[in-house]
Each structure stands twice: as structure tokens, then as C-alpha cells.
């Protein structure tokens, strides 16, 4: 990632200081009755979708939404999907106000609330191929490391994600701050693969990765789960959600969409969704890390 892009990410993180942590699940509302046409433009970036996932996990990322879209169409709901291979391209579409909703990691859209003026709410969460709808950030160390618990990270070298990743940046940094744990140094990389590479090469003593990193990221090409040990997990948070912007989509229409999506679950889930379908959004109120408590990166020599 270019330096200017990294700077922009940290600038967005700084602008979130003091922003209230609102509930991200769709508030209760009476669904719009009838089957009159409901057309919504949805931006998609899903790690398990074959149209947006990295080719290195093509054997795992086999999800298609064709069956889901066909089922929704029977209820008069037409979701016009635009697939984004690169999250940064989705970012641009969100900030430009081009979309009525998104299907992605919730933080991808929520972090632009102030900048875009949007009010994204999670209509439904989707289960992964293992039927989990949540993820965490994980603090990992080499299997033979003497580090056993979070407190042992005091004075150690760590690598985190960047501010666009809640599970690899905000949540773990808040955990360290709450425990008054100060690392000796910190690096901030854009992918789980980079973080694990830094750990394997001895550049850091511990790394924060996404809980799906060993099965659904580019790290599967070189990292073996048995070579690492997890010493702590962050809070659980939604992995992939379908969200709508309530500034563009009336609550009754959003509730109608929710009702239709929640019917696509269990044995009524089309096979191409590779899981057990949609579930009601669990409560989640993300609180960004305080920039004042974020460890600084080492100065380049």
C-alpha cells in the first residue's frame, strides 16, 4: 500500500475520536407490506465470494449470490450487486454516496459515517462456510515462544493491522490500553499475510491477525496453523453483513429486506451460498481505538 494511502487511513482513524459508538444493527421497524418493486444498489466485498476473493483461496471462496438474488426477486426485491475485488474501490464508492447498501465487513462502511454522512445499519449477518457469523482478532506468537498471555506483551515488538481493520487494529489496541500494556514497538501492515511474515522472520514477537487468516487469506500459502499459538482473542464482531444506508432506504423498506433475507436460512439456503444463510444481526457497538494510546511505529533508519 502506498504511503499516501496509509496516511489517509490513519487520518480517518484520528477523525473518529469522540464519535459515539451507536448500535449498528437495524432498529426494529414494521416491514413494508406487499411485493412492490424494491431496487437497491449494493456494493460487495466478501472474502468467501468467488467474485471478490483472492485467487489464492479459490478452493475455499466458492460463494455465489445468484441463488439468493433469485429468491429475493420472487418477493419483488432486486439487489443490483457491484462486486469490488479491492476494498479501496469499495471505499471510494461508499464515500461518493453511490450505493444504497453494502455486503462486506461492517467496519468497511461504518468507518466512513462522518465523512460520507451515511447511516449504515446491519440488516442481516451471513454465516461463513463453518456456520459462524462472527470473527475476532487473534494475538499469535510462534509455538515455542515464551510469551503465554496478553500481559507478557509488555515491552515486546508487535505488528497490528491498519485502521481500516477493526479486528486487527482498533479492538486489540483497546485491549492493550485497557490492560495498561505498552509494547516496545509497533508495526501496522495491511494484511494477515504480512503480519505473519513479520512474525516468522523474527521482526516482531507477536502478531495480530484475523481469526479466519489461516483458512481464508493469502497466509494459507505459507503459514501453518501448528507453527503458531494464540494467546488472546479480541471481542467477537460480525464477519460479513448486508447493510443499508438509512439516509437512502426508508426503515420500512429495510425491514422488508431483512424479513426476506432471514427467510434464506437453514435448509432454505441455496447451495451456492456455502453456509446456512443469513441470521439476525447481533448487537455490536464498535468503539475505535484512542489515537493518543496507539503505539508509534519505529522511525526508519
- What's the gap between Cα 124 and its chain centre? 14
- The whole-angstrom separation of Cα 65 and Cα 49 is 8
The answer to whether the predicted template modeling score (pTM) of the entire model surpasses 0.75 is yes
Among the listed residues 267, 199, 283, 272, the one whose alpha carbon sits nearest the alpha carbon of residue 235: 283
> 275, 128 in Cβ contact below 8 A?
yes
Please report how many Cα atoms fall inside a 13 Å half-sphere around the Cα of residue 166, on the Cβ side: 24
pLDDT in tens, 143-158: 999 999 999 999 999 9
> What pLDDT is recorded for position 62?
85
Local structure of residue 295 (DSSP, 8 states)? P
> What pLDDT is recorded for position 11?
42
> What pLDDT is recorded for position 19?
33
- How many CB atoms lie under 10 A from the CB of residue 231? 18
Please report how many Cα atoms fall inside a 13 Å half-sphere around the Cα of residue 186, on the Cβ side: 19
From the candidate CATH numbers 3.40.50.300, 3.40.190.10, 3.40.50.2300, 3.20.130.10, the one assigned to the domain spanning 19-133+238-279: 3.40.190.10
- The whole-angstrom separation of Cα 210 and Cα 221 is 16
* One fold for 19-133+238-279 and 137-235: yes
> What pLDDT is recorded for position 217?
53
> What pLDDT is recorded for position 22?
83
Per domain, the residue ranges of the chain are: 19-133+238-279, 137-235
> What pLDDT is recorded for position 171?
98
Among the listed residues 244, 180, 234, the one whose alpha carbon sits nearest the alpha carbon of residue 26: 244
Q: What class does CATH assign to 137-235? A: alpha beta
Run means of pLDDT, 10 residues per run, the chain, 301 residues: 40 36 90 94 95 71 93 97 96 96 97 93 95 96 96 98 97 97 96 93 96 69 81 97 98 98 97 94 95 85 57
> What pLDDT is recorded for position 12?
40
- The whole-angstrom separation of Cα 283 and Cα 99 is 24
- How many CB atoms lie under 10 A from the CB of residue 168? 28
Amino acid at each position: 500500500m502506498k504511503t499516501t494511502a496509509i496516511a489517509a487511513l490513519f487520518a480517518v482513524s484520528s477523525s473518529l475520536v469522540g464519535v459515539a459508538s451507536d448500535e449498528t444493527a437495524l432498529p426494529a421497524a414494521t416491514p413494508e407490506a406487499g411485493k412492490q418493486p424494491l431496487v437497491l444498489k449494493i456494493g460487495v466485498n466478501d472474502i468467501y465470494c468467488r467474485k471478490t476473493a483472492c485467487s489464492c483461496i479459490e478452493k475455499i471462496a466458492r460463494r455465489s449470490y445468484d441463488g439468493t438474488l433469485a429468491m429475493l426477486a420472487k418477493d419483488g426485491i432486486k439487489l443490483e450487486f457491484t462486486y469490488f475485488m479491492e476494498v479501496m474501490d469499495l471505499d471510494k464508492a461508499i464515500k461518493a454516496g453511490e450505493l444504497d447498501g453494502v455486503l462486506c465487513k461492517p467496519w468497511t462502511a461504518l468507518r466512513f459515517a462522518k465523512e460520507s454522512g451515511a447511516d449504515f445499519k446491519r440488516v442481516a449477518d451471513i454465516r461463513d462456510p463453518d456456520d459462524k457469523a462472527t470473527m475476532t482478532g487473534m494475538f499469535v506468537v510462534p509455538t515455542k515462544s515464551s510469551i503465554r498471555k496478553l500481559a507478557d506483551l509488555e515491552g515486546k515488538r508487535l505488528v497490528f493491522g491498519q485502521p481500516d481493520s477493526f479486528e486487527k487494529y482498533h479492538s486489540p489496541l483497546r485491549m492493550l490500553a485497557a490492560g495498561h500494556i505498552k509494547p516496545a514497538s509497533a508495526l501496522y501492515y495491511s494484511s494477515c499475510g504480512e503480519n505473519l511474515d513479520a512474525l516468522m522472520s523474527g521482526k516482531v514477537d507477536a502478531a495480530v491477525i484475523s481469526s479466519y487468516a489461516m483458512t481464508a487469506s493469502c497466509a494459507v500459502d505459507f503459514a501453518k496453523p501448528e507453527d503458531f499459538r494464540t494467546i488472546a482473542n479480541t471481542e467477537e464482531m460480525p464477519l460479513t453483513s448486508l447493510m443499508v444506508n438509512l439516509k437512502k432506504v426508508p426503515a420500512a423498506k429495510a425491514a422488508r429486506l431483512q424479513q426476506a433475507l432471514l427467510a434464506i436460512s437453514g435448509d432454505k439456503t441455496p447451495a451456492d451460498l456455502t453456509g446456512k444463510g443469513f441470521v439476525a444481526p447481533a448487537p455490536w457497538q464498535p468503539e475505535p481505538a484512542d489515537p493518543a494510546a496507539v503505539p508509534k511505529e519505529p522511525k526508519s533508519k
